Amino acid sequence: MVSAQREQLPQRAAVKTAGGALFIWNQPGNNFTLEILGKDVSPNNSSKDVYFKADGVVVQIQCAAITQFISGSIRPDGRAILQAHRDWESQYAEITFGKLSVQTSELDLKSGRETLYWKFDVPEKFKDQWKTRLYLTTINGDYVIVLNGIAKSSAEEDQVKRFLLETMATLKVSDKAFDLPKNPGGNRPN
């Protein structure tokens, strides 16, 4: 079982572009790119997760297999999948933060892609670190692509939401893996 899981691990890379960075995620059944736009864009990969800092906004890119949070032979529609993912992810966050009040909006991008935007404020004892965690999710095959960021104030929350939406609007998916840079140097996320 472990070797089968290793084969499914994504290959990831980031390539500097004139407008910021192009992030590439290759995984069987889940190949996509995102443009991380900004004047000052850098990977911030201190863990197994992928983070970018772009003009002061930190965004995390994750993917979750739908089978992690939905079981059974009948697959629900896209909105129900995104809502189930939100519930699963927020239940995990409640282990750290306690009961959360999650606010949700269904958004369609100009491309017609369904997304779910949701957020929660952290309890008072955590607010010295940040105020709100924001998520924007969409489906690619059997996976949910997750962008999330944090805001320390209401003004910053609008900036982070706009950044998540602009980043998700650049999403390109493919049935085939994207070419990875031959010599990415320090640009390959962990």
Asked whether residue 159 carries a pLDDT value surpassing 80, the answer given is: yes
> 67 CB contacts (<8 Å, ≥6 apart)?
142
Domain spans in the chain, listed from the N-terminal domain onward:
2-174
Of the pLDDT bands very low, low, confident and very high (cuts 50, 70, 90), residue 47 is: low
Cα 41 from Cα 126, distance rounded (Å):
27
pLDDT one-digit tens code per residue, 96-151 = 899 999 999 998 888 899 999 999 998 888 878 889 999 999 999 999 999 999 99
- Which strands, in side-by-side order, build the sheet including 172-174? 11-17, 20-26, 31-37, 172-174
Cα 87 from Cα 64, distance rounded (Å):
13
% of the chain with per-residue pLDDT over 90: 67
pLDDT value at residue 190? 41
CB atoms within 10 A of CB 85: 23
Task: Please report, as a single letter, which amino acid is at residue 157.
Answer: E
Asked whether residue 1 carries a pLDDT value surpassing 50, the answer given is: no
pLDDT value at residue 123? 86
Of the pLDDT bands very low, low, confident and very high (cuts 50, 70, 90), residue 5 is: very low
Contact present, 36 and 164 (Cβ < 8 Å): no
| Architecture label for domain 2-174 | 3-Layer(aba) Sandwich (3.40)
Asked whether residue 73 carries a pLDDT value surpassing 90, the answer given is: no
pLDDT value at residue 92? 94
pLDDT value at residue 188? 44
Span 15-22, average pLDDT = 94
